[in-house]
Amino acid sequence: MAVQAGVPNAQEGNRAKAGLEAGVEEFHYDLNGKVFTEVDFTMKEIYDAIPKHCFHPSMVRSLGYVARDFFLVGSLLYAASYIHYLPTAVARFAAWTLYTVLQGMVFTGIWILGHECGHGAFSESKAVNHSVGLFLHSFLLVPFHAWRLSHSKHHKATGNMEREVVFVPHTRESFVKSRFGDHADPGLSEFAEMVQDAPIVSMYKLFIHQVFGWPLYLFVAVSGPSYDVPFYKLNHFYLGEDGPYFGPKDTPHIIISDVAMAAMIYALYLFGQTVGHWNAILLYGIPYLMVNHWIVAITYLQHSDGALPHYHDNVWTFAKGATATIDRDFGFIGRHLFHSIIETHVLHHLVSTIPFYYSHEATAAIKKVMGASYIADTDTNLLVALWRNQRNCMFAEESVKGSGILFYRNLHGKGMPPRPLTTAK
């Protein structure tokens, strides 16, 4: 049974709030006021439930999707070559806008296929996975091996407040201090009146988050934990052996990724020389920015929602972390252009080597084992959820003090309240 991460039942939410006010805290409540069901299955049960053929990717089938996606890229490029023949500026602007949206989605699908390679879900050959993944991600200016290595750390510590490497929530203390300075008292109720951004400010922050979030993650590990190292050691191109992501054995892979990236940048320069640099920006550069948007939106919403728990390290387990994710529904685009990365992400964290074309079958199988631990929100529009969660998921704190299980809370009265605040004297 899927736990829908929507607006809570009013009576359920009122009972939850009343319970907190009365000091009764037997249950964990998420931001939506729903009682949280803790994980009660084993990973063996998950593996046993999945049909055996789902564990065996087909190289031919996977390559077929690569060929299909690049056919779509070529078809859109060919269609774009006729845009300048349109009679009016309005028509040309509309055509370029449509091209950008569509090509950005196709590019994102290629990024996702590279992601499959990084997990070994593309084929049963490691050499094929690494070779194809390097090509696909370099095409989109992603350092394949560097990202593959840091991404594996994310999968090994999903939802862990101390060891997670991306989309680590603020605590209430770090959130208030990030807004008001190190001397701010996170327990004071006075700050609750000042934390809600005006819609125009939220829109600006969301724009920065969506356009620059992905490159900033690659260069300075934005949204990750605070490391006590210089910022240049946090980037995915760093060749030193003393950063938080890579060790001595990883250096050859980082070099390969950097060389492949340099080759792609040179190829783009030659492309610009051939078609004109402005045309190269229109044909590749702006759709590339759309990839940034989609990757950040997809991954943020997979791990940031009022229904999702986080855990302190002392109570975290792999199964708990893997289920601290959420499935959504993006319709035709999600299933056919984005290769079901949105619809079957819970499965992906439980068993990341299953190829996307078996993911719906495998998800149906594990839902029977997971019961109420399976979390999905198939009703809320993806962009609506992005806006809502950016504004309401401010910080994470324990629903039951001392439990080590945290949920998103905010200070402006949306959903479940945070733990009691005090008033300055």
pLDDT at 179: 74
pLDDT, position 241: 79
Instruction: Assign 422 to helix, strand or coil.
Output: strand
Please tell me whether residue 148 adopts helix, strand or coil conformation: helix
Amino acid present at 208:
I
Say what the pTM is: 0.89
Please give the Cα distance from 58 to 75 (Å, whole number).
Answer: 26
Of 354, 320, 63, give the one whose Cα is nearest residue 364: 354
pLDDT given at position 58 = 98
pLDDT of residue 7: 37
DSSP-assigned beta bridge partners for residue 405: 311
Give the C-alpha distances (Å, rounded to integers) separating 276 from 75, 348, 381: 20, 41, 38
What is the model's pLDDT at position 51?
A: 98
3 state SS of 409: strand
The residues, ordered by sequence, that sit 6+ positions from 167 with a Cβ below 8 Å of its Cβ are: 223, 299, 300, 303, 304
pLDDT at residue 108, as a whole number: 98
| Rounded (5°) CA angle 348-318-297 | 45
Q: Please tell me the distance from the alpha carbon of residue 159 to that of residue 316, in angstroms, as a whole number.
A: 8
pLDDT in tens, the chain (425 residues): 344 433 334 444 444 454 445 445 568 999 999 999 899 999 999 999 999 999 999 999 999 999 999 999 999 999 999 999 999 999 999 999 999 999 999 999 999 999 999 999 999 999 999 999 999 999 999 999 999 999 999 999 999 999 999 999 998 888 887 777 776 666 665 666 566 666 787 788 888 889 899 999 999 888 777 777 888 888 899 888 788 888 889 999 999 999 999 999 999 999 999 999 999 999 999 999 999 999 999 999 999 999 999 999 999 999 999 999 999 999 999 999 999 999 999 999 999 999 999 999 999 999 999 999 999 999 999 999 999 999 899 999 998 888 999 999 988 878 887 776 555 44
How far are the Cα atoms of 46, 185, 191, 396 from residue 188, in angstroms, in the given order? 44, 6, 6, 17
Amino acid, res. 227:
Y
Specify the pLDDT at position 78.
98
Q: Which residue has the tokens 């990341």?
A: 352
DSSP state of 75: H
